[in-house]
A and B are shown apart, each in its own frame.
Chain A
């Protein structure tokens, strides 16, 4: 299927240290999947691997779509915010994902960029440099770039961290719209209440798969306790354990 993702005995890690062990399963085309679990449990690593940013140490990932139809929204920390680039130019990057690095911006694409910026509520800030944006505005801009990519598989890494309720509600509405359009969405999240209300399926990850299925069946007290326990033997600090609770 065009938007499906199959993980086959997947082991991922950095510098020969595995962060995710032997993960097997299929994310169906059109799924709306939340990936939750303690910090250091390998959630972001999994997303990076699906996006093609890191190569599996073992096993394989089969993505139904071509690389250009996978949209990846990184954590804000991975973006160099001091670089002198405007909101408009940043959002335009999403078009290059489709046209290639050398394609020109057609008048039609320019209109699309303006629409994407308007859709995330950043109209009027097109010329502002990204260094001058608030955390919420930054996140809105990342979503606008994702809109430009028109991806059939959308991967979003902790999009709602440290942003206000209004922004969260706006961006969550966009995620719902993408889901309604039939796109496959995989989101790394921390807010379990949000996962329970907005995400039908959940993968609970603590270096290995603790549970994967409908959110209701996965997010049980005992599963969350198991996830926390998996992370403690190797000395993960207490603060981190609180996260999954």
Chain B
């Protein structure tokens, strides 16, 4: 019974094993990046960047069809461009960054969908919007693994700088001139992970695997290391459980993964030890005394 439910789908079907490997790789890289995005109050910027990837990937698609290389490069360029452009608009015009981002991302989405539907079918449009985690080929899988490896390595090197830049950016700037370079590198890692997530989950859901596990973990712990570990665990579990559910109930697999992550988030919102609803409504006795 347990075997049929949990092991069999992966043991019997190669595409399920690929999906599992891809999802786990994504979870390990994207979740810690999501924690930093959230702590830097950049969750929405992440969302806008995820959408911005679409027209870039679509341009790649127009040039070369569903080519991993062309779509990845297009996505990287577009995602990075929007992050930088939004910063410039916020600094040089009367618009704040959030308004600039909202404008860019809705434009990106409209532009991307137009480009893809101009040449492709409805199925192609669905694929770029919601991903194709069950159709990961070898090169895509390798890309996901490479992105995760690079992400974890860069995180290990830049960890202190990223933490200091979050807590006290002025301090970082006063002791070293690396603040700007660090921020750009971080944005670069974010775009890389979003492009990886784009291949598996599509432009609309990509940011979910970054932000939902991070936000859930934040509700359980105030320790950064534990938070990152919890976020990775949540993302990985969401991947596994989402794939199993999608297999048995014939659900769309990308949305199923994000829905599981979303369920964990909702549970954490209610029961989380750090600022969950239950703690708010029914405080511990010593708090009442």
Contact = CB atoms under 8 A, between A and B. Distances in A.
Contacts of B168: 74, 78-80, 93
A80 B39 CA distance: 9
State the majority secondary structure of interface residues on A. mixed
Interface stretch (A95-103, A114-122, A166-174, A208-216): A95-103
A53 B221 contact: no
The dominant DSSP class at the B interface is helix
Contacts of B218: 84
A32 interface: no
Contacts of B224: 84-85
A100 B167 contact: no
B164 A84 contact: no
Interface string B215-241: 000100111100100000000000000
B175 A80 contact: no
Contacts of B177: 67
Interface string B163-182: 11011101101111110000
Given A84-B39, A97-B175, A102-B157, A48 B167 contact: no
B160 A52 contact: no
Contacts of A102: 157, 160
Nearest to B175: A97
Interface in A78-96: 78-80, 83-86, 89-90, 93, 96
Interface string A40-63: 000000001001110000000000
Contacts of B178: 101
Interface string B134-177: 00000000000000000000000110110110111011011111
Nearest to B92: A15
A160 interface: no
A100 B163 contact: no
A44 to B, nearest CB: 11
A86 B175 CA distance: 20
B167 A52 contact: no
B170 A74 contact: yes
A70 interface: yes
A84 B170 contact: no
Given A84-B223, A129-B222, A68 B175 contact: yes
Contacts of B223: 84, 86, 129
A72 interface: yes
Interface residues of B, number: 24
Contacts of B170: 48, 51, 53, 72, 74, 78
Interface residues of A, number: 29
A156 to B, nearest CB: 12
A100 B174 contact: no
A237 B221 CA distance: 44
A89 B159 CA distance: 13
A52 B173 CA distance: 7
A70 B58 CA distance: 50
A223 interface: no
A139 B178 CA distance: 26
A131 interface: yes
B243 to A, nearest CB: 31
Given A70-B174, A84-B39, A101 B160 contact: yes
Contacts of A100: 176
Given A85-B224, A101-B178, A74 B166 contact: no
Contacts of B167: 79-80, 83, 85, 90, 93, 130
A139 to B, nearest CB: 14
B157 to A, nearest CB: 7
Interface of A: 48, 51-53, 67-68, 70, 72, 74, 78-80, 83-86, 89-90, 93, 96-97, 100-102, 129-131, 145, 149
Given A74-B171, A97-B171, 6 more contacts: A48-B170, A79-B167, A85-B167, A97-B175, A101-B158, A101-B176
27 contacts: A51-B173, A51-B174, A52-B174, A53-B174, A67-B174, A67-B175, A67-B177, A68-B175, A72-B174, A78-B168, A79-B167, A80-B168, A83-B163, A84-B221, A89-B163, A90-B167, A93-B167, A97-B171, A97-B175, A97-B176, A100-B176, A101-B160, A101-B176, A129-B222, A129-B223, A130-B167, A145-B171
